[in-house]
Structure 1
Amino acid sequence: MRSHLGDRILKVDHAGEHGAVNIYRAQILVARWTAPKLVPLLRHFLAHELGHRALFHDRLKARGIRRCHSYALCGVGGWTLGLLTGLLGPSAIAATTYAVESVVLQHLIEQRRQLEITDPDAFDAVSRIVEEEQEHHDHGRDAMEAGAFWPPVLTPVVRASTEAVIWLGMRL
């Protein structure tokens, strides 16, 4: 069984994973100078995101569906966000990871609820990434330093931006 909603969710999640790949790539690029101790962890998270993007790509290909129109927007937006927050250092990197993943996890939970009966294949794809996204979220949350400047500034902006990109992707 397959649903139109499942197709749309897979497309948007694929674009979102592309954005996440670019966030981590850009953060790694500049964190070598601003947060060198974080680079191994960022590479670990990047490996997860590359796997997630490949998973969704494979599901789209099997269904004969083109990628989302927001794919390029997610890539450029992710790169820009990663570059800026990477330049701002460890606190900004942690806040960004936490903010993005908190929105992503909410959406994944809702997507699983919507897909469980209507599209088992899409449900399976979404379910496969939850544990690693939770790991990213928890690390970002735990790495934010109490009293640091960037978390209260970046978290609401990044959350709202992530929500907006998902909203737009579901409608393109």
Structure 2
Amino acid sequence: MATSSIATGGLGDRVIKVNHAGEHGAINIYSGQILMARLTAPDLVNELREFRSHEQRHLGIFGTELRRRNKPRCRSYWLCGFGGYVLGLATGLFGRNAIAATSVAVESVVLRHLERQIADLREDDPEAVVAISAIVAEEQQHHDLSASHLQANGFWSWIITPLVSASTETVIWLGMRL
């Protein structure tokens, strides 16, 4: 019989905490990008607002799950928020392609992690799987719509993708260990 991660304080708890912090970071990425996109890519502002509203809903899903589990938020929560806002401002400053490349890079990493989390938790923590599964379609939408804005072999994709992907992986790794 599988034991719930609620009882064991296991992987599911850590994943929910890190995902919650990551959603806070994503909200702040989009907030910074919205601020700058008003000047550099005004045609993307409404889409970015929609993405941010999705991330706010995702934050609520994971926040509810944390409260249900009686767990505090991740220690990396404020780091994710601050880092996300700085990343959003910086990439928003460089316009449409930098904004799109950032979303594609972040969402590619996030989608890989969500897929792995679902597989790892399927047997031991069905509540975590439900919470994680609830956000996958919107994260995929963010990736796909952003990818449609990218210029093939564009400069920003070449620069931003490895930096943002590595940073996102690092923040997730750190969050899982705090």
Taking structure 2 as the reference length, what is the TM-score of the superposition? Answer: 0.95
Verify: 1:133 aligned to 2:139, yes or no: yes
Distance 2:113 2:144 in 1: 16
Give SS of 1:117's match: coil
Give SS of 1:7's match: helix
Give SS of 1:37's match: helix
Distance 2:149 2:73 in 1: 34
Q: Could you say what the CA RMSD is over the residues aligned between the two structures, in angstroms? A: 0.8
Q: In the TM superposition, what whole-angstrom CA distance separates every residue of 1:81-101 from its partner, at most 9, and x where no partner exists? A: 000000000000000000000
Q: For residue 33 of structure 1, what is the aligned residue in structure 2?
A: 39
Deviation at 1:62, TM superposition (A): 1.0
**Match for residue 151 of structure 1 among 149, 152, 157:** 157
Give SS of 1:118's match: coil
Verify: 1:97 aligned to 2:103, yes or no: yes
Q: For residue 66 of structure 2, what is the aligned residue in structure 1?
A: 60
Size of the aligned set, in residue pairs, is 172
Taking structure 1 as the reference length, what is the TM-score of the superposition? Answer: 0.98
Deviation at 1:140, TM superposition (A): 1.7
Deviation at 1:16, TM superposition (A): 0.3
**Match for residue 85 of structure 1 among 87, 91, 94:** 91
Give the stretch that moved more between structures: 74-83 or 143-152: 143-152
Deviation at 1:148, TM superposition (A): 2.6
Q: In the TM superposition, what whole-angstrom CA distance separates every residue of 1:47-71 from its partner, at most 9, and x where no partner exists? A: 0000000110010011100000000
**Match for residue 2 of structure 1 among 4, 15, 18:** 4
Give SS of 1:65's match: coil
Deviation at 1:112, TM superposition (A): 0.1
Structure 2: segments with no counterpart, 5+ residues: none
Distance 2:13 2:153 in 1: 42
Give SS of 1:67's match: coil
Deviation at 1:108, TM superposition (A): 0.2
Post-superposition, which runs of at least 4 consecutive aligned residues in structure 1 deviate over 4 A? none
Give SS of 1:156's match: helix
**Match for residue 164 of structure 1 among 147, 167, 170:** 170
- Percent sequence identity over matched residues? 58
Structure 1: segments with no counterpart, 5+ residues: none
Q: For residue 107 of structure 1, what is the aligned residue in structure 2?
A: 113
Distance 1:141 1:113 in 2: 26
